[in-house]
């Protein structure tokens, strides 16, 4: 307890000293270059080099309740956009569900100086091989997310069949980043249909962020997903896809995926082409909020005698935690052309971005 009290006084005293050490008004603090400002206001907790005391002595040195992050880690450094770093420096940790011991500098520094400081801190771990967090757009249901992520999802689908039956489908999805641009994933799906035995599927995948452009805010990703049926009459398959993500100004984002699925046992009739896309509206800068979206899917089996299927999926993406790392998305999938099998679907998922902290934190 003594160490924590000392740490809190250290932070407060450092801020006070930062102001009192000036011979002019507080506004003069904004004349300090970002590296010097970091050493005066941030180094006590985050370390002089931004590494956050990797030797484990952060409790004794700072009295903090949670370990400070390593700003020099490019994976951590690139995960969130610059605007989130600006908000934390300006408003403190509490509004974004982070440590309440992170103080607010909004009354001491100008917005321009706060942005300069945030850019300096992010520069400590900058690595151009890592796509920046500005390109991490919200996920849709049918469209693959372009940005490589550390995520866990519970996905639920409900189908009403034209035959009068129903199908419930549950999927557990786990994804983990590998290095700067890769992600591996595994999905386990169970389907419960009226009058039928439970069937399932196991799918693994590898995703690679091929290229990105921060200035124009786009990212392109390719991936491969082989799938094996479990207690099912279906054959194994493999899906090759490409996904493009793009910011459309400050209020909208677009992601679009093109998939080519092949089931080798089916021979020449085993090819299916699918195009999906989703547009999200971003009407708040807060991490918690409601973000409406519209998604579409066009699917066609590449052999004669099969009609093209077209679906629309209006949905809402609800970021539930202040960190934005827990979210719920739900919406009805409506056929634009009569589907011979399915009358309508309802799709939903619960998402946990576990790299941003435990599920129960940041609310």
Summarised one tens digit per residue, pLDDT across range 98-134 is: 989 899 999 899 999 999 999 999 999 999 999 999 9
Q: Please state the pTM of the whole predicted model.
A: 0.87
- Rounded Cα gap, residues 170 and 188, in angstroms: 8
Sign, CA torsion 59/62/68/73: negative
Q: Smallest Cα–Cα separation from 41: which of 99, 98, 89, 100?
A: 89
Determine the average pLDDT of the residues in 202-217: 97
Determine the average pLDDT of the residues in 271-299: 95
53 to 41, 76, 78, 104, 112: CA distances (angstroms):
16, 16, 20, 22, 29
Give the pLDDT confidence score for residue 3 in this predicted structure: 35
- With 0-12 / 13-18 / 19 or more C-beta atoms within 10 angstroms meaning exposed / middle / buried, residue 356 is buried
Give the pLDDT confidence score for residue 268 in this predicted structure: 64
Give the pLDDT confidence score for residue 302 in this predicted structure: 86
DSSP secondary-structure letter at 64? -
Strand stretches in the chain, DSSP E: 151-161, 166-178, 182-193, 199-213, 218-230, 237-248, 252-262, 271-281, 289-301, 309-319, 326-335, 342-352
Give the pLDDT confidence score for residue 209 in this predicted structure: 98
Determine the average pLDDT of the residues in 227-248: 92
DSSP 116-159: HHHHHHHHTT--TTSPPGGG-PPP-SSSPPSS---EEEEEEEEE
DSSP secondary-structure letter at 21? T
Architecture of the structural domain at 133-356: Beta Barrel (2.40)
Given a cut of 80, is residue 19 above it in pLDDT?
Answer: no
Determine the average pLDDT of the residues in 30-36: 92
Give the pLDDT confidence score for residue 340 in this predicted structure: 80
- Rounded Cα gap, residues 36 and 28, in angstroms: 13
Return the minimum-mean-pLDDT range out of 28-32, 108-112, 131-135, 174-178.
Answer: 28-32
23: its two tokens: 């011979």
Cβ-Cβ contacts under 8 Å for 292 (sequence gap 6 or more): 280, 281, 314, 315, 316, 317
Q: Smallest Cα–Cα separation from 226: which of 243, 250, 201?
A: 201
Determine the average pLDDT of the residues in 29-48: 90
**53-80 confidence digits (pLDDT tens):** 888 788 888 888 888 899 999 999 999 9
Residues of the chain with pLDDT > 90: what percent? 66
- Rounded Cα gap, residues 27 and 111, in angstroms: 12
Q: Where are the domains of the chain?
A: 2-123, 133-356
- 198 close to 190: Cβ distance less than 8 angstroms: yes
Given a cut of 90, is residue 29 above it in pLDDT?
Answer: no
If you classify domain 2-123 with CATH, what class do you get?
Answer: mainly alpha
275: its two tokens: 């195009």
The 10 Å CB-count burial string (b at 16+, else e) for 146-161 is: bbbbbbbbebebebee
Crossing angle (nearest 10°) for helices 2-20 and 34-41: 140
DSSP helix/strand/coil, 312: strand
């Amino acid at each position: 307890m003594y160490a924590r009290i000392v740490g809190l006084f250290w932070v407060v005293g450092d801020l006070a000293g930062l102001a009192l050490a000036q011979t002019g008004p507080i506004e003069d603090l904004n004349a300090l270059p970002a590296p010097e400002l970091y050493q005066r206001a941030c180094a006590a907790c985050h370390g002089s080099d931004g590494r956050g005391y990797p030797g484990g002595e952060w409790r004794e040195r700072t009295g903090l309740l949670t370990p400070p992050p390593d700003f020099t880690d490019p994976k951590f450094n690139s995960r969130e956009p610059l605007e989130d770093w600006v908000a934390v420096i300006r408003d403190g940790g509490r509004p974004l569900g982070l440590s309440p011991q992170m103080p607010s500098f909004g009354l001491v520094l100008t917005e321009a100086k706060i942005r300069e400081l945030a850019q300096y801190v992010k520069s400590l771990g900058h690595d151009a091989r890592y796509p920046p967090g500005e390109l991490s757009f919200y996920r849709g249901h049918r469209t693959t997310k372009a940005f490589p992520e550390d995520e866990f999802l519970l996905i639920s689908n409900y189908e009403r069949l034209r035959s009068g039956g129903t199908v419930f489908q549950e999927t557990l999805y786990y994804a983990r980043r590998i290095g700067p641009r890769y992600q591996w994933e595994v999905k386990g799906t169970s389907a419960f249909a009226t009058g039928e035995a439970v069937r399932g599927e196991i799918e693994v995948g590898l995703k690679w962020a091929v290229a990105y452009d921060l200035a124009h805010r786009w990212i392109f990703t390719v991936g491969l997903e082989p799938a094996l049926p479990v207690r099912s009459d279906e054959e194994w398959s493999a899906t090759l896809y490409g996904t493009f993500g793009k910011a459309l100004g400050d209020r909208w984002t677009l992601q679009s995926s093109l998939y080519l699925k092949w089931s080798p046992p089916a021979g020449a009739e085993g090819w299916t082409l699918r195009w999906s896309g989703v547009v999200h509206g971003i009407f708040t800068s807060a991490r918690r909020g409601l973000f409406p979206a519209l998604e579409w899917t066009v699917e066609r089996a590449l052999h004669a005698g099969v009609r093209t299927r077209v679906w629309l999926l209006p949905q809402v993406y609800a970021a539930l935690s202040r960190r934005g790392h827990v979210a719920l998305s739900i919406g009805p999938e409506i056929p634009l052309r009569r589907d011979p099998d399915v009358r309508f679907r309802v799709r939903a998922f619960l998402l946990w971005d576990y790299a941003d902290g435990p599920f129960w934190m940041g609310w």
